[in-house]
Amino acid sequence: MIFIGCAGWSLGREYWPEFPADGTHLQRYAARFNSVEINSSFYRPHRRSTYERWADSVPEGFRFSVKIPKQISHERRLLDCEDALDEFLSQCSGLGDRLGCLLLQLPPSLAFDAASTEAFFKTLRQRFDGAVVLEPRHESWVSAKPLLMAYRIAQAAVDPSRLSSDASPSGCQGIRYWRLHGSPRLYHSAYEVAYLQRLAQALQAADTHGAATWCIFDNTASGAATGNALALAALLHG
């Protein structure tokens, strides 16, 4: 399965004709896409009942990627965050089998430390056995691959690339995750057709090898994400 979607389910007015006219924003979005990344969880908690409502709003094959709160990644910097992690997992588990993976985005200032990273991964794995994707932003994380493999953590491919190791997915082979922020203008620029064609080939190759394959467009500031996701889906599905 190749999951294509955006960071959030807002739909620019120019794309409304591509979606059903009726339903909530999420229901209309899910009529064309099979996944979405919930970024709002990074900034604020959502009730379990909210996650349950979202899960009930989408088709059976739809999956959510949920961003781990910044309280854990940026404020506590992976340290002493058991209570915060328990609270977050209790909330987002309301998605049930619609929960596809967790996304852990780290701040550029957070360097890799093997001891604290392993302690966090161990804490996380004691509580959650599903797919986890990491987006580090400090070059020292190129040394983290052995721990990623040991704890079944995937590292996202990122554009624009932040590290020497994030041009393609790495880490755990069970999930391959592309996270595209827009280039050259971060969060704004749309991707050209030639780029999307190469991307479609890479996604198909990952899918052929049996990996759960994701591509999330985060170039949402100008609405380009929706257009790029629709175009990529058309390339993959004819």
Residue 238 reports pLDDT greater than 80: no
Q: At what angle do helices 193-208 and 224-237 cross, to 10 degrees?
A: 50
43-63 confidence digits (pLDDT tens): 999 999 999 999 999 999 999
CA–CA gap between residue 32 and residue 10 (Å, rounded)? 13
Mean pLDDT (the chain, rounded): 97
Summarised one tens digit per residue, pLDDT across range 105-121 is: 999 999 999 999 999 99
For β-strands 157-159 and 99-105, DSSP reports them as unpaired
Residue 169, preceding peptide bond in cis (omega within 30° of 0)? no
The per-residue pLDDT for range 167-201, each reduced to its tens digit, is 999 999 999 999 999 999 999 999 999 999 999 99
pTM of the model as a whole: 0.97
Residue ranges and CATH numbers for the domains of the chain are 2-237 (3.20.20.410)
- In single-letter form, the type of residue at position 118 comes to E
What is the pLDDT at residue 116? 98
- Residue 207: band (very low, low, confident or very high) from pLDDT cuts 50, 70, 90: very high
Judge whether residue 19 has pLDDT over 90. yes
